[in-house]
Structure 1
Amino acid sequence: MKDSHNLGVVGCAHPDRESWARPGDTLDLRLWLRLLTCSRLVENRMRSLMRTQFDTTLPRFDLMAQLADAPRGLKMSELSRRMMVTNGNITGIADQLERDSLVERVKVDSDRRSCLIRLTAKGRQSFRTMSNAYQNRVGETFRQMPSERQQLLFELLEELKASGLADQAPPDGANSPLRN
């Protein structure tokens, strides 16, 4: 449902990426703009949730999600690869989480220059609380779409991912913030 000149998605009071499409643009460009718009709209909902309910950021939550499945911890380089951001970004986020006692750095015996980042008990509890709220918000976001349509969309996006994007993506599950 799109007003192609001003509002992008009908009912939104601000232009979105999809509104950049012009008459005559190719279907693949219009599809990309729609995917980008939907992704940003959902991401903005999740950012708002993290900010308003937990006074944190989505990147901090994402890093904690990676660590939730790695009780022994992960190296900074592995976190960087999984989250598809620079080592510097990971260092900054880890520093913030460490100041809040949500993660700790653990030396690696075999490599004095390396350390692992892992959740503290406080971090695990905090993540569980945030993760439950996150999953509920995702559910609210997609609840308006019947489950059959969700499954179809999931399958279509899997085709897109498999068609050439997979070589650039992290391993399955490596970028999922939905772990408890």
Structure 2
Amino acid sequence: MFVKMKKIFSVLMIEFIRILLGVIFSYPENKRGKRDVNKDIEELLKIAQQNLVKSQRLNKDFTIGPVPGPTKSTRKLIDAFVRNRSLLEESEQKFYLQVAEEWAIKLFNSYYVTLVCTGVFLITYFSTYLIYPYLTGQSSVIWLMTLILSSFIGIISAKRIKGRRKWVFLPLNIFLFTAFLIRVIT
């Protein structure tokens, strides 16, 4: 039981670190430089590297270890270490920053965020008709906040999409939010 809890905790921590790094790398580099987070990222990845070496998922020479990574995110981190090991000869900090960026950069793809937010909005909106009699008090506030936040996040992330998909999802999210507002007002 304790071993399973330890594994679950380590998976949650790795995902949390990846999300945190994704948020940090979404800021422009000049803002990151002002706060001097590069040293913190380097220390964080050194700890992750030590844990991967200790668990035999990564060798000390930055090759893939004998034990495979338990999750997709861990395997992506190991692959990032392996692919960027040539940068370690140039600069240690540059190596760890490149590994972190490669591992976390595609986490918040605007297309998928928009797709998920649109799906959450539609499911919540149409399920409102089924459970309308049961929505009272705090549950109705949570339902409304889910609708508002999913539509706002959907619109904002649809603006960040490049190409033709932007012109599909942006009007769709604006239309859905407008229809929601009309429904609430009337």
**Superposition TM-score, scaled by structure 2 size:** 0.29
Q: Structure 1 or 2: larger strand share?
A: 1
Point out the structure with max Rg over C-alpha. Answer: 2
